[in-house]
Chain A
């Protein structure tokens, strides 16, 4: 059985071009699959507690690692609110009041719309492949376990993240986020792998905070277009304020 797993792991990961012996390449492969060079996606985010649910619909555009633009499609209260990130600068735009607000980069660690995700998660400001150094830890059953430690010069909010990646497709199934004291703070589960334009992506994400496991935030990707071509000024203040 174990031999079968190892063989399957090697066969599949080699087939998709990943050297399974390198944690760096493993992570880069996963990131290239999940985020690509650019993408346009539509998703729902559901904040769930035992007593109530709240669902937001979001549209998200990403170009490389430096530019991102998200728009809230519903509910009515937040509809149309947009966030633009260009490198380390962020702006929120409230279209009904025509108000553009520069946001402190410290806001990247703020909860996004009251969810268990942060602005950093939604705007994909940090890159697991580039902002962290990686090494394999001991495998756990069908998972490759990768220790990700923040590089000293990177500006990320989690000093340590542990990735549990499937040996079948090299994509993550779980991230565990640890704070400076080494305490586990939250866990992100991935499932429902689907293929969009040749990219394999987990489309169901569940973020569970450690301090209150009765609540969680779920992201379900409805569509992702990795072949999108954005207009030259798509990630610009003119476009941000033009809707």
Chain B
């Protein structure tokens, strides 16, 4: 099957060489100095390091070929990361890279979320890790009111920028230092655009990563719809089986004169496999408003039920908090300068985290970003180990686009 798909893609690509094509990309280098949380150093976390530098170099090369109603798109993502935190042998019960911080610094560290086709190379040795991944590679056909896609897809929808529970296919990156990063998902998508106010998308995705590669496919069947109920109200709905759970949920967004308000809900059943599990559900309320020509604010608050059976090292959400409220401010004092500050608070534990970023355009295609991440108040809950993993970081990034 893979062989035939490859042949097909090569054939179509070859036949399209004379057609319209486009290539673009970006490269980014980051240096980060990180100070560990003192409570993470001892049992049971064993993150026994104090202060380290972390170096990151990554980039995308994106290509697109169009011919008639068809298109092939691909994105090659490469990343090199270096730090002493990669160096030591695994400690304690963890079977991941030695220190969990490396996975957080490179979030999202899995660039293919549902993986059938592989097409990636990851190598970790000594104090560095190298990754080379074709994280987007698909064929698309557009009819007059329908769209078909097959291959490795980006699936992006939902208004949440800090927490976006209705979309399990791409993690929001608002709280990270990365940009221009998206996760690929292997499978097929059928989208039907019904009238002007309703679209419905069927996703058939597979994942062999959790089982042995030649074992059974852990499937995803997902329906995502967007219905424009009125000039001001849009309803999105999601329904399906994903990661061995049945899920149902939706999003309602309403355009007030001064702001956009949205609400998300997602319910997940217990695992449909025999393993012990609990059900999960998520809530999100958000508000997005442009206050002046230069000042933009966003509020997101919500709840996510914790998975009692997930181990710390397999958590899939960045900065896990159970009840949370986040406020983001973005201010553009000058056409070349953008500054932002985001504070996120775990209401139950009192844990708070602050993210500051300043972006300066140095040429028309190059920008420098300074960033800082820091817990500003420690949580009073002793059982939320993940919050103790949050480090204090200062860093600078140089990114260029071509």
B202 interface residue (CB < 8 Å to A): no
B147 near A77: Cβ-Cβ < 8 Å = no
B182 near A97: Cβ-Cβ < 8 Å = yes
A118 near B142: Cβ-Cβ < 8 Å = no
A107 interface residue (CB < 8 Å to B): yes
Query: Which residue on B lies nearest to A113, using beta carbons?
Result: B335
Q: Chain B residues near A49 (CB, 8 Å)?
A: 335
**Chain B contacts with A in 51-87, Cβ cutoff 8 A:** 60, 62, 75
A104 near B288: Cβ-Cβ < 8 Å = yes
| A113 to B364 Cα, complex, angstroms | 12
Query: Which residue on A lies nearest to B258, using beta carbons?
Result: A106
Query: Which residue on A lies nearest to B289, using beta carbons?
Result: A106
Q: Chain B residues near A238 (CB, 8 Å)?
A: 142, 145, 147, 193, 199
| 1/0 contact string of A75-106 vs chain B (CB within 8 Å) | 11101100000111100000011111111111
Q: Given the known A-B contacts A75-B364, A97-B180, are A105 and B255 also in contact in the complex, defined by CB atoms under 8 Å?
A: yes
A102 near B147: Cβ-Cβ < 8 Å = no
Distance in Å from the Cβ of A57 to the closest Cβ of chain B? 11
Q: Chain B residues near A107 (CB, 8 Å)?
A: 290, 296
Which stretch of B113-121, B152-160, B378-386 is in the interface? B152-160
B365 near A104: Cβ-Cβ < 8 Å = no
Q: Chain A residues near B364 (CB, 8 Å)?
A: 54-55, 75, 77
B294 near A111: Cβ-Cβ < 8 Å = yes
Distance in Å from the Cβ of A151 to the closest Cβ of chain B? 15
Q: Given the known A-B contacts A237-B199, A238-B147, are A106 and B290 also in contact in the complex, defined by CB atoms under 8 Å?
A: yes
Q: How many A-B residue pairs have CB under 8 A?
A: 108
Most buried by A among B145, B147, B335, B401: B335
Query: Which residue on B lies nearest to A49, using beta carbons?
Result: B335
Q: Chain B residues near A76 (CB, 8 Å)?
A: 24, 365, 401-402
B369 interface residue (CB < 8 Å to A): no
B145 near A111: Cβ-Cβ < 8 Å = no
Residue in contact with A104 in the complex, picked from B26, B153, B154, B289, CB distance below 8 Å: B289
B361 interface residue (CB < 8 Å to A): yes
A89 near B255: Cβ-Cβ < 8 Å = yes
Query: Which residue on B lies nearest to A232, using beta carbons?
Result: B144
B367 near A98: Cβ-Cβ < 8 Å = no
Residue in contact with A98 in the complex, picked from B182, B255, B259, B361, CB distance below 8 Å: B182
A197 interface residue (CB < 8 Å to B): no
B24 near A79: Cβ-Cβ < 8 Å = yes
B42 interface residue (CB < 8 Å to A): no
Q: Chain B residues near A100 (CB, 8 Å)?
A: 156-157
- Interface range on chain B (Cβ under 8 Å from partner): 35 or more
Q: Given the known A-B contacts A100-B156, A100-B157, A106-B290, are A54 and B255 also in contact in the complex, defined by CB atoms under 8 Å?
A: no
| A24 to B74 Cα, complex, angstroms | 53
Q: Chain B residues near A233 (CB, 8 Å)?
A: 144-145, 193
B156 near A98: Cβ-Cβ < 8 Å = yes
A110 near B290: Cβ-Cβ < 8 Å = yes
| 1/0 contact string of B23-56 vs chain A (CB within 8 Å) | 0101000000000000000000000000000000
Distance in Å from the Cβ of A178 to the closest Cβ of chain B? 15
B231 interface residue (CB < 8 Å to A): yes
What are some 25 contacts across the A-B interface (CB < 8 A)?
A49-B335, A75-B365, A76-B365, A79-B24, A80-B24, A88-B232, A88-B255, A89-B231, A96-B60, A96-B75, A97-B154, A98-B153, A100-B156, A102-B234, A102-B253, A104-B255, A104-B259, A105-B260, A106-B289, A107-B296, A110-B296, A111-B332, A233-B144, A233-B193, A238-B193
| 4 A-B pairs closest in CB distance | A114-B335, A104-B260, A98-B154, A77-B401
Residues of B in contact with A (beta carbons under 8 Å apart):
24, 26, 60, 62, 75, 142, 144-145, 147, 153-157, 159, 180, 182, 193, 196, 199, 226, 228, 231-232, 234, 253, 255, 257-260, 288-294, 296, 332, 334-336, 361, 364-365, 367, 401-402
Q: List 11 additional A-B contacts (Cβ < 8 Å) besides A88-B231, A109-B293.
A: A54-B361, A76-B24, A80-B24, A87-B231, A88-B255, A97-B154, A105-B255, A106-B291, A233-B193, A237-B199, A238-B193
